[in-house]
Structure 1
């Protein structure tokens, strides 16, 4: 259905005068690199949707009211990540690439900590740190990528770029990553059961979840190494000025007058 919908949307975009996302907005060089990075964050964000939920529900048997405590930890971490970006960019004025590296390191810390902590009978307090690190890294990554997007695209296409990232990240990539993790978890549980390991179902599920967190650690650490080696400044160190809404309104009125006169 996604492929069919994509074909219909592309056809509509190419055949109407004012498309919701203009064809010119897809032609920026750095756009596709940013979309790939958005997809990486969504891949890392699929682990709590599948693995963490399976661990807290199937192994620890936490209820909804218990696991909702982790939402407050995520909210606090997201706020801390945004404030960290503000201090990094506006006060210290350091490189954005290094800020992305900090975000990747925080995201990589989550599967590493979860891999070390997974065991039956774990207290919920032990999950505070990995959940905090994941949400902290998400906030840094999304804030910095939005800045990159604003730098790479003019204001007329900036919100189109945000829409592209949102549709791709929350649409096919989110569904695909969650489905792959769910399929992989079911495969690992079946494989471990077939090997005849001397554990009950709770132990088998713990081992399977830990194995998938281990694979995620390899991916996250590999991306972190790339960012550590990629110590360059893709955009300028000073942000370009974002136009005010009054200025945007005057620009639109001028364009409308030119169209009417022509």
Structure 2
């Protein structure tokens, strides 16, 4: 990194590490205060989630050209430009309520967020691991990324509670301005390696894959709201996604240097990793769909107290990252064991909550499940990424990360959440019908609830008609809550059983031990890109 000579080495490391954390805290839409954003911008929940998904898609699609950008521009230019784009993006997202504008802005904010983070972390990799060990570097990177996600949510909730959801944008813009000021004065505008031009990049292929992911996210995000294929928009989006997929695959196969190389799909470890990530997204979907509804709708936690559970997840992330680092970097234990332990944490998460779902539990009762979730979350992300990289040459590595990102962040989460949400809707309707059949004055529970609310309403001076309405509403609310709790238990119980079967499958699968693999030197990567992949012919 082209720091000025008077900057000490330790200070350089601290500056770049803090800058990477600032980039990870930055986003286009902050989902912690989803309801406030929806109300403030007069958008639907699906609109805001799709905009947030665009940011993850941008982060995923920029992977294959990260080194091309690093070798084309100076570090000072990359970081200052990334900060500037994020500042402009946050200003647009703060004041605009146009979905298309927010969608495009979020896409570019995600791209430059990843570009800035990569530039920082790649510049301090020799400090993190002087031996350039893959396992050490990935353990630290995922700790920074996943830990920042939890801390960002906590900070967002604190600011929203004390001030307004808009002040998170103000904070991020201020931090990015501070980053720009520090880097402007401490970095030199020099190039440490020969410039590698940005030619022979499949920009059209990148656009096709990006549009495909955005279209699929639209289908799965809005499907439930628009009643799936009864909606003309869903049918048109489905046809468009098929067309985009055909065009993207045809270009990938027929082009000499496509955006995603078809040779990437021949690696068995990558295909197994995609399956593991898909199952992981199913486990994670219950937290997004059910736990937020439970803590907010049944336990009546506000945004601040709901997000405070992130502290438990953060503790789990720290423990999981430490365990993963020890297992894959020091002990060099088999992947099978860490996969089993990681998914076991999620099975226990669902098993414990299956017996915990009640209308009046303490917040401390949720700490252990959330710690287990954070532990398994980071341990599996680290181990699956390392397992996917086993046997893949470095020229194909970033393409494989893009494919993993399709399932991990760009599309897999939306699909899993959509599946969980639709299954929950079906079970809740069915259970509501079943429980409603038992509601009459012969049933002692319903009779008690109805008469208790009726007498209380009359004693407060309400008319008989108002008292009957209040009692009926209370009875319906009680039945609806029981139907929700029963549906959640069915889903958590089903996922627990599925998890047990999946754990048995992991035990019968063969996985290699982690190997010592070095991150290649920048000069080697530059020479490969110039001599093998991207020189003019």
Q: 1:256 Cα shift?
A: 6.7
1:249 equivalent among 503, 506, 526: 526
Aligned Cα root-mean-square deviation (Å): 2.0
The whole-number CA distance in structure 2 between the counterparts of 1:89 and 1:30 is: 16
- C-alpha distance 36-237 of structure 1, shift in aligned 2 (>3 A): closer
TM-score by length of 1: 0.90
The whole-number CA distance in structure 2 between the counterparts of 1:150 and 1:195 is: 50
Q: How does 1:53-132 map to 2 (within 5 A)?
A: 53-132=292-371
- C-alpha distance 29-93 of structure 1, shift in aligned 2 (>3 A): closer
Q: 1:237 Cα shift?
A: 4.5
- C-alpha distance 89-31 of structure 1, shift in aligned 2 (>3 A): closer
Deviations 1:14-69 (A, max 9, x none): 34332221122122233211111111111111010111112112211111111111
**Which SS does the other structure have where 1:30 is aligned?**
helix
- C-alpha distance 229-11 of structure 1, shift in aligned 2 (>3 A): closer
Residue 139 in 1 paired to residue 378 in 2? yes
Aligned to 2:396: 157
Q: Point out the more displaced range, 154-163 or 20-29.
A: 20-29
TM-score by length of 2: 0.46
The whole-number CA distance in structure 2 between the counterparts of 1:31 and 1:148 is: 8
Conserved in 1, the CA contact under 8 Å of 2:289 and 2:417?
yes
Q: 1:98 Cα shift?
A: 0.9
2:280 equivalent among 38, 41, 44: 41
Between 1 and 2, higher relative CO (CA 8 Å, sep ≥ 6) is seen in 1
The whole-number CA distance in structure 1 between the counterparts of 2:417 and 2:324 is: 28
Q: 1:235 Cα shift?
A: 2.6
What is the aligned residue count? 258
Q: How does 1:215-234 map to 2 (within 5 A)?
A: 215-230=494-509, 232=510, 234=511
The whole-number CA distance in structure 1 between the counterparts of 2:288 and 2:533 is: 47
- C-alpha distance 205-244 of structure 1, shift in aligned 2 (>3 A): same
- C-alpha distance 145-237 of structure 1, shift in aligned 2 (>3 A): closer
Aligned to 1:214: 493
List runs of 5+ in structure 1 lacking aligned partners.
Answer: none
Q: Point out the more displaced range, 152-161 or 14-23.
A: 14-23
Conserved in 1, the CA contact under 8 Å of 2:387 and 2:514?
no
Residue 204 in 1 paired to residue 483 in 2? yes
Deviations 1:175-232 (A, max 9, x none): 22211211111222211121135653222211211111111111111111222344x4
The whole-number CA distance in structure 1 between the counterparts of 2:254 and 2:333 is: 44
Conserved in 2, the CA contact under 8 Å of 1:59 and 1:205?
no
List runs of 5+ in structure 2 lacking aligned partners.
Answer: 1-214, 217-240, 439-445, 447-477
Conserved in 2, the CA contact under 8 Å of 1:58 and 1:202?
no
Conserved in 1, the CA contact under 8 Å of 2:264 and 2:399?
yes
**Which SS does the other structure have where 1:90 is aligned?**
helix
1:169 equivalent among 408, 413, 429: 408
Q: 1:236 Cα shift?
A: 4.4
Q: 1:159 Cα shift?
A: 0.9
Conserved in 1, the CA contact under 8 Å of 2:336 and 2:507?
no
The whole-number CA distance in structure 2 between the counterparts of 1:16 and 1:256 is: 13
Conserved in 2, the CA contact under 8 Å of 1:42 and 1:173?
yes
